[in-house]
């Protein structure tokens, strides 16, 4: 009988180990996929904004938009169009998968309200701060915004008591260093006017995304991730379209109509098809971000997502440079090296490398 | 009626411990028509709650069909968090 019991115990231990390992691997893969899809989302949104009405707005500008409108309003309009397409994807998928009842029940609750607030931090606030930062300070804002995994991990420790030890901090620092390497090649030249304010906006973006990732990742421990991402995309799409675009239209002082701008962005067949593709990628990348961070915890999940600082330039090179033949999207060699460094950083966050050596040392005893 | 995941977590504040099958049995009457009411989804939700510190594992074994059962409980802090956010 004891032999049978021992066999059952061994089978249970094996099954449990298999379940835990599979869950962790799945979480890491989902979080990494979120970084890759962020690259495609960026590339297709950039592609959409190089077609249709955007050609005129960014080029000949026969509409007579001010420099402010070209910089901020057109940027916000592109983001609003993508996010709205993404929200339609999210609502359609939630409906098809029988989540709409719980969606409406959830948005009335406290976790639902928290998710909405976090989505506003990450959607219109962080994204807009990122755009302004880029305009003011240039590409140095990229590595600064890539501080969001570190900020998310630190917030996760303070707000949700999630584990964060010295090894994980080292891994986060390595990932950040890799982001700096990616941006390094474009950091040459004189500092543009308004550098300090641009860097400040870069930090605001990092804090916004860090807060969003940490809070919404944790939120998926209470809210079904498909419902969570539907709340996020609907919040982001509506707030960008109904609040941000009209505010920028008023601020531009050009006397242009927000409605006309939105209509031109949505009604142009050349660009809307790519906005729809970008919206699909946005839906997937943010859903995977929330789900992966929920499954892995803030530090590991957000660092895996932080690979977007490599996948962004990489996907732009593939889609815009190789497929559509646009110039200026080539990847510098340092970016490839940085990708390897980033993988090392994520590996260090995920596990203690010394554990591999310990396992090897144990093998002879285990087989004996 | 609460969202499915809320009902799932709330159940752990009322019992010493439970596994996925236990929770499904309790929630079956109200939630069996939900598309998300599947064992894999419930297990994933419980493991995500554990990864975020809401629940903790108490034990595991095999049922009579040799399927793994992992039991969880809401510790004091986890139960307080669940009750704070989910009314």
Taking contacts as CB-CB distances below 8 angstroms, the residues of chain A near B2 are 105
- A297 closest CB neighbour out of B34, B51, B82: B51
Asked whether residue A95 is domain-assigned, the answer is yes
Q: What is the CATH number of the domain that holds B56?
A: 1.10.10.10
Q: What is the DSSP string of A111-140?
A: HHHHHHHHHHIIIIIHHHHHHHHHHHHGGG
pLDDT at residue A27, rounded to an integer:
92
pLDDT at residue A158, rounded to an integer:
79
Which H helix or E strand runs over B73?
strand B68-73
Domain of B41, in residue numbers: 4-85
Question: CA angle, corner A229, sides to A210 and A296, nearest 5?
Answer: 55
High-pLDDT (> 90) share of chain B, %: 84
pLDDT at residue B10, rounded to an integer:
95
d(CA A283, CA A40): 11
**Overall average pLDDT of the B31-50 stretch:** 92
With the C-alpha atoms ordered A24, A28, A31, A33, is the resulting torsion angle positive or negative? negative
Check A221 against B49: CB less than 8 A apart. yes
Taking contacts as CB-CB distances below 8 angstroms, the residues of chain A near B56 are none
Q: Strand pairing partners for B61? A: B69
Q: CA torsion, points A177, A182, A183, A186, in degrees to nearest 10?
A: 140
pLDDT tens digits for range A71-124: 788 888 988 999 999 999 999 999 999 899 999 999 999 999 999 998 898 888
Between these two residues, A164 and B70, which has the higher pLDDT value? B70
Residues of chain A with pLDDT under 70: 1-8, 131, 134-140, 142-143, 162, 183-194, 353, 355-368
- B9 closest CB neighbour out of A109, A161, A222: A222
Question: CA angle, corner A186, sides to A191 and A193, nearest 5?
Answer: 20
Check B3 against A161: CB less than 8 A apart. no
Domain of A219, in residue numbers: 28-357
pLDDT tens digits for range A151-169: 877 887 777 776 778 888 8
Whole-complex ipTM = 0.90
Check B52 against A161: CB less than 8 A apart. no
The DSSP secondary-structure symbol of A254 reads S
d(CA B6, CA A110): 11
pLDDT at residue A5, rounded to an integer:
60
Partner B contacted by A97 (CB < 8 A): yes
* Number of domains chain A contains: 1
Check B86 against A224: CB less than 8 A apart. no
Asked whether residue A288 is domain-assigned, the answer is yes
Between these two residues, A165 and B69, which has the higher pLDDT value? B69
Taking contacts as CB-CB distances below 8 angstroms, the residues of chain A near B36 are 97-99, 102, 224
Largest CA distance in chain A: 87
Whether the Cβ atoms of residue A23 and residue A295 lie closer than 8 Å to each other: yes
Residues 8-27 (A) with a CB less than 8 A from some CB of B:
8, 11-12, 15-16, 19, 23, 27
Average pLDDT score over chain B: 93
pLDDT at residue A100, rounded to an integer:
93
Check A102 against B52: CB less than 8 A apart. no
What is the chain B residue with the closest CA to A27? B48
Q: Three-class SS of residue A348? A: helix
The DSSP secondary-structure symbol of A190 reads P
Q: Which class for A315: exposed (0-12), middle (13-18), buried (19 or more C-beta within 10 A)?
A: buried
pLDDT at residue A214, rounded to an integer:
81
High-pLDDT (> 70) share of chain B, %: 100
**Overall average pLDDT of the B39-54 stretch:** 92
Largest CA distance in chain B: 38
Question: CA angle, corner B86, sides to A238 and B83, nearest 5?
Answer: 150
- B61 closest CB neighbour out of A12, A110, A227: A12
* Number of domains chain B contains: 1
């Amino acid at each position: 009988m004891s032999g049978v019991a021992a066999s059952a115990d061994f089978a249970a231990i094996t099954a449990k180990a298999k379940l835990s390992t599979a869950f962790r691997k799945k979480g890491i893969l989902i979080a990494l996929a979120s970084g890759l899809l962020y690259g495609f989302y960026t590339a297709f949104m950039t592609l959409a904004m190089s077609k249709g009405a955007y050609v005129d707005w960014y080029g000949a500008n026969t509409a007579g938009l001010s420099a402010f409108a070209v910089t901020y309003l057109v940027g916000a309009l592109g983001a609003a169009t993508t996010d709205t397409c993404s929200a339609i994807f999210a609502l359609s998928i939630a409906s098809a998968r029988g989540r709409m009842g719980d969606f409406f029940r959830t948005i009335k609750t406290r976790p639902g309200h928290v998710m909405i607030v976090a989505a506003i931090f990450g959607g219109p606030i962080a994204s807009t701060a990122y755009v302004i930062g880029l305009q003011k300070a240039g590409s140095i804002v990229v590595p600064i915004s890539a501080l969001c995994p570190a900020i998310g991990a630190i917030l996760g420790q303070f707000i949700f008591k999630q584990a964060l030890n010295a090894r994980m901090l080292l891994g986060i620092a390595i990932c950040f260093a890799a982001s700096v390497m990616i941006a390094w090649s474009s950091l040459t030249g004189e500092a543009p006017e308004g550098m300090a304010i641009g860097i400040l906006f870069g930090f605001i973006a990092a804090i916004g995304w860090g807060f969003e990732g940490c809070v919404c990742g944790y939120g998926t421990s209470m809210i079904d991730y498909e419902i969570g991402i539907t709340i996020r995309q609907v919040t982001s799409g509506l707030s960008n379209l109904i609040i941000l675009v009209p505010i920028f239209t008023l601020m531009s002082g050009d006397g242009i109509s927000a409605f006309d701008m939105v209509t031109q962005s949505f009604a142009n067949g050349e660009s809307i098809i790519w906005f729809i593709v970008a919206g699909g990628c946005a839906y997937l990348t943010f859903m995977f971000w929330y789900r992966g961070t929920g499954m892995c915890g803030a530090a590991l999940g957000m660092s895996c997502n932080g690979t977007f600082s490599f996948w962004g330039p990489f996907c732009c090179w593939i889609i815009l440079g190789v497929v559509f033949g646009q110039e200026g999207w080539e990847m510098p060699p340092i970016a490839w090296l940085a990708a390897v460094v980033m993988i090392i950083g994520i590996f260090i966050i995920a596990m203690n490398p010394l554990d591999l050596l310990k396992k090897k040392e144990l093998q002879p005893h285990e087989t004996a | 009626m609460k969202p499915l995941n809320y009902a799932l977590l709330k159940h752990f504040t009322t019992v010493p411990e439970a596994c996925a099958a236990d929770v499904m049995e309790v929630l079956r009457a109200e939630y069996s028509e939900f598309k998300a009411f599947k064992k894999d989804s419930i297990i994933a939700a419980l493991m995500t709650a554990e990864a975020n510190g809401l629940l903790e594992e108490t034990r595991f074994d095999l049922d009579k069909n040799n399927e793994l059962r992992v039991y969880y409980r809401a510790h004091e802090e986890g139960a307080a968090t669940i009750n704070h956010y989910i009314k």
